[in-house]
Every structure is written in structure tokens, then in C-alpha cells.
Structure 1
Amino acid sequence: MIKKSILILLIVILSSGLAVANDPETTLIPIPLIFSSPETGLAGGGMGMYFKDTELKNIQSRFGAFYTAEGQANLFLQAEQEVDEYKYSGQFSYQDWVNKFYGLNNEVVFNDGLEYDSQGFSVEGGISKRLAPNSFLGLVANYESYDLNLERKLKQNIRGIAGVDLWGLGLKYTYDTRDRMMDTRSGQYLEYQSIIHSEDFSESDFIAHELDYRFFKQLAPKHVLGWQSKLIITNGALPLQKMNSLGNMRILRGYESDKFLAANKVATQLEYRYPIYKKWSGTLFAGIGEVYQEFEVDDLEESWGLGLRYNLDKKRGVNLRMDFAFNSQQSNFYFNVGEAF
């Protein structure tokens, strides 16, 4: 059933651009993707980005699917709609993937990683009301359910190693003066959210506070300096699935996902974006951060790298992203759509 759903979605993505080609208010960008990684082998799929702008509302959505030679699958849908004084958002993802467990609290116990399967889905929705020209305050709710086969491999008392069924409800505040959401050239973005998580609503299992701040300055035409800082602080008993990882394709690029796990996270990165030729541009980036139970300056980790961009939509700044990221331990290559931040 999942394989058929992914195939149907890929056909829709790669062929539906013709359906909106004559609508000046609508843009659909189909993107076929092929990639490879040690965990997945050869993988293929596609994604689409849909935009619709009218006087009464703006709609943005992203949807896609991937399938690998190892039989792993990933399917996702994200959408955001702004109508008058309100902003609505939602997302859904299904994943049947291979992960690795190295240890907790920033400590690597298994040098090569303990491989395990993760299968399940997550769904999230939110509604916010405009408080001022650039400010929104609202509610966010989510639910996720995943099965893990790590319990029989790991003889430790770690919450969530068999899976997780978790509800979340909280508040979100957003302040946004960016000139555009993707490939931002100027402006600021601040988001704070506080979410209570629980398995059955009878009591709070843990609370997560997350702060994301971004600043962009155009130094010269097409030369942009961007800065992002992120802080996540939790209180309570976190399951394995909700632990924070040090690096990913968006911040502290270069570190293997989930190699360093802990309850809390602090990270910051700086990126310089510059033109190369016509639709091609480049980036230089560096970052520093830490996941921790108790913060230690000596445990801060660094990453740096460079990237290439190919523009798919000039108006909205939709780019294909290719990043080469490094740190003192390893390097990684990322291929994706949209900027890291």
C-alpha cells in the first residue's frame, strides 16, 4: 500500500506542473531527486513545491516521497495558508527508515552505531492570529507514533526504545520581517514555542521550550550574510525519539545524524551567500554548538563547509542546495531543496 501511494505521489509531482502552467497566481515546481547514502544505498523520489498568491490568501506547500534500494520509504506533506489575520499550518510524514544509536548525553558508546529500524508517522497542526504587522501568536498540536526494534538489541533502561505514542499541545509566537521565506536577503525571524508532551494526557511527561532566531543582511547586490541561533531546553522524561541531535542538514551540517544525543541543545551558525554565474550561487558557512544534559564549554563542537546553489524560482528564491560540510571527525554531503535557514 505504501509503495503504491509513493508511486502515485511521484507521478502527480512530476506531471502536474502542466495543470497550473497557465494560472499566473499559481506556481508548481516539480523536482525529481536521486541520491545515495551508506544507510539507504541508492534512493530515488521526487518532491513538489506549490505556491498560490491572491488578494485574500497565500498558500505554500511542499510534498514528496522517497524510496530506497533497501526498501525504506519516506512520505511527507507540509502546508501553510495565510488568510486575513490568521495563519494556518499543517504537516504529515510517514517514515520507514534505518537509524543508528551511538549513546546518550553526548557520549558515544557504540563507535559504529547500533543499527535499528524506525517505522511510524507524525502529524501536526497550528493556528495563529496576527497581533501586529509582523507578529503572530497561536496554538500548535501534534501527535506521533513510532515503532522501534531497538529494545531487543539494547539492554538498557532507556525510555522509548520500543517506540513512542506521544501527544503535544502548546503555544507559539512568531516575529517575521524577512523579505521572503526562502533564500532570505534581509530581515529578522524569531520563533518561540513551548509544548507540553504526554502519552495519555493524564500528566505531563516533559515540556520542550524552543527558540529560533535568524538575522539577514544584504552586504551588496546578491551578497548576503545570514546568522541563526537555536536553543532547545527540556524538562521531564524524554523518550529516545525526542532527544536532540547535534547536527543535521539544517544546522551544524557535517555531523552524522543522531551520533550525539541529549535532552538540550544550543547551536549557532553563520553563512555567507554570493553569486557565481547566472542561476548559480555559492555559500560559505560555519557553526558551533552542543547537545547536553549539563552545559560544558569544553564540549562545544564546530562545523564548517561550502555549498553550491541552482535557482529554480527567482521570485521566491527556491534553490537546489548542495552542501559539503566538515568537522574534526567526519564530513558529509547534502543534497536538498531550500536553504538551511
Structure 2
Amino acid sequence: MFRDSEDGHFDMSRWLLEHRGFLPVPIIITDPAVGNGGGIGLAFFHRPQAGAAPAADGSAPKMVTPDIYGGGAMRTENGSNAYGLGASLHFDEDRWRYRGGVAKTSFNLGFYTPGRLLPPEKIEYNVDGLMSFQQGFRRLGERDLFLGLAWIYMDMDIGFDVASDRDRFQPHELATRSSGLGLSLEYDTRDNPFTPSSGWLGMIEGNAYLPGIGSDTAFQSYRGHAYAYWPLGRQFVLGGRADARWANGDIPFYRLPYIDLRGIGSARYQDTRAAVLETELRWNMTQRWALVGFVGAGRTWGRRNSFSNSSSEVSKGAGVRYLIARQLGMHVGVDYAWGPEDDTFYIQVGSAWR
């Protein structure tokens, strides 16, 4: 069951797709924002009975991505913890898609004050509450183009290590409940969604948070991102990522966009605008083993600094991968990354870009 029929190596494709098995995902956390920690996740895979999706050019139909559902729990040394459930499902020969999850979280984080004249000061705080993300997609025609509708809900209690730090924020920045509806447009030609080797994914989305649907304040968030993959001969795959996020209105301080790169702590650099460029090269040394190298840069601006007055933060790193499920094209492995303040490692299941 755990040997591939083609090369005899360890492989979990049959276990996951034919026996409704689960993939244990070790959660090893080394994010500087929350400290070291760990946990476990279980991901169950199920191939839909309708095994083919319509092809736009009349060629052989593509395989439908398996349904995935599961849950997990984690905890870190600074007391942060989370547990939740989620799923990614496909219906009617992949004409409809669903992604969503619910989680109970408590994170101890740091908010860095503007450092235009003085060095940034770290304000320690905790957010504790419920988060829910629900999104449905409809394929438009016979193309790989999907229109999505989302509902994002967060109900968080906010506490500060130093009670007087609360006075440093405007009332709307301390809003505890946010509820928003969003629209998105997604185009996806990747050969697989786990560890792609060709094709590209492009998505634009906008979300409106309004008191009329349960939000304490009114604000908007937007994101546009694209991931592209180019095979270079038989052994190399070059990937490129562009990701921009921005927000307007009465935004809670813990919902501000931030630089999302390996090697940089979550929410370390925040403002109303954030943009990232990253590239990754994968060398498939053998059919199973691969090495990756990556480098990226990000910048935030908006309320604190203009784009021209902001500096770019750079991170880089390398990693190793093993093709654990050949039929899914799924690699697992570990990355080690260096950022401007810290260096750390990450356990990866599939692509690091999400």
C-alpha cells in the first residue's frame, strides 16, 4: 500500500486516494512572532466519483483535485494556541468548489509602533476568539476561471500586557468583531494544486466589512496575487510570486496587511499596504528528491510612510523536498530561511505559497 508501483519507493498515493487514509501533518512552529512550538494536523483525502472536469480546448479532461478535509491543533512556548477544522471540496465535475474552516485561537503577538523618528517599539498583546472563513466558487463556462463569494467572520477579545498600551490606539482600532462579504475571481491552470511544476494561478479579491452584517466598524480589504511555474528542462522548475494586499477604512490594528515571507515573523511589518515579490527554484535531483532555493522582498507603506520612504525587507533560504504522493504531485520537506532579524525553519506540505 505504501510502495509506488512505478519505482518501488515509499509513496502515500494509494493510501490517501484508494483507502481514504489520512496524511499526518506535523506542525513545527518556529515563527519569531509566537516562538517555538508544535502540534499535529490530520488531512483526509477523497477522490470525487466524477473523475474528470471539462477541458476548455477539447483535450483530454483534467483530473479533479481530491476533496480534502481535516483538523489540527497547535501550541507555542509563549502560550499561543489554536485548534480548528477545515475542508476543500469539489462538486459537479469541479464546476463548484468550496473552501472553508473554523478555528478557536489565542495568539500572543507584538505590534510594532511606527519608527520614522524613533526605533520601533513592540507592544505585547493577545487576541483570543473565534475565526471563520467560508468561500464558494462557480466555474464560468468551460474555462479554468472561477467566481467566488466569501464570508469572513472574527470575534476576538483583545488584551495587553501593559494595560495603558490600550490608550495608544484609536477606538476603531480596538474593534473586536469583524464580519465581511467578499467577491473574488480566480484563474488556475496549474498542473496540480499541491506542488505545481507548470501553469499559473491568478486571483483578485475584495471584502467589505459592514455593521449591517455584524462588524463593529466599516472597512475594506483587498488582495491580488499571482503564482507562476515554468519548467526549465527536465530537472528544474522556476516559480515566481507577486502578492499585494491593502485595506481602507476603520481597520482594527491586528487586521492590517503585513509582509508574508519565510524568514520574517508574522505581522512584524504592518501598514495599510503590503507587497511581496518572491522567486523559488526547484532542482529535481531524482524522481523523488529535490532541493529548493528562494529569495523574496516585501514592503509596507500607507499610514506610517509613503512607498518611496519605506524600505524593502529581504529574506532568503533553501530547503529539501520528497515526493510523498506521486499521483497527487505532492512534495513534503523542510525550509530554512534568513530574514532581517531572525532565521528559522519551516515544515512544508505542498507549496509554501498560499
TM-score scaled by length of structure 2: 0.80
Deviations 1:221-256 (A, max 9, x none): 242101110111222121112101123xxxx22122
The CA distance in 2 between the partners of 1:265 and 1:37, in whole Å, is 19
2:268 matched to 1:256?
no
Partner of 1:244: 257
- 8 Å contact kept, 1:102–1:108: no
Q: CA deviation at 1:95?
A: 1.0
Kindly indicate which of the two structures has a greater share of residues assigned to strand.
1
Q: CA deviation at 1:149?
A: 0.6
Alignment of 1:139-150 (within 5 A): 139-150=149-160
Alignment of 1:114-125 (within 5 A): 114-125=123-134
Partner of 1:11: none
Other structure's SS at 1:241 match: helix
The CA distance in 1 between the partners of 2:16 and 2:120, in whole Å, is 55
Q: Which runs of 5+ in 1 are unaligned?
A: 1-19
2:299 matched to 1:309?
no
Structure 1's 196 and 161: CA in aligned 2 closer, same or farther, altered over 3 A? closer
Other structure's SS at 2:263 match: coil
The CA distance in 2 between the partners of 1:63 and 1:22, in whole Å, is 16
Q: Which amino acid aligns with 1:307?
A: G
- 8 Å contact kept, 1:123–1:143: yes
Other structure's SS at 1:302 match: strand
The CA distance in 2 between the partners of 1:199 and 1:107, in whole Å, is 36
- 8 Å contact kept, 1:105–1:260: no
The CA distance in 2 between the partners of 1:77 and 1:107, in whole Å, is 44
Structure 1's 257 and 23: CA in aligned 2 closer, same or farther, altered over 3 A? closer
Alignment of 1:159-174 (within 5 A): 159=171, 162=174, 164-174=176-186
- 8 Å contact kept, 2:151–2:180: yes
The CA distance in 1 between the partners of 2:274 and 2:117, in whole Å, is 14
Partner of 2:291: 282
The CA distance in 2 between the partners of 1:73 and 1:186, in whole Å, is 36
TM-score scaled by length of structure 1: 0.82
Q: Which stretch shows the higher mean deviation, 144-153 or 44-53?
A: 144-153
Q: CA deviation at 1:322?
A: 1.8
Q: Paired residue for 1:219, among 232, 239, 262?
A: 232
Deviations 1:106-146 (A, max 9, x none): 898545x3322221121111222111320111211111111
Equivalent pairs: percent with the same residue? 23
Q: CA deviation at 1:161?
A: 5.7
Partner of 1:232: 245
Q: Which runs of 5+ in 2 are unaligned?
A: 1-13, 52-65
Other structure's SS at 1:244 match: coil
The CA distance in 1 between the partners of 2:186 and 2:127, in whole Å, is 32
Give RMSD over aligned pairs.
2.9
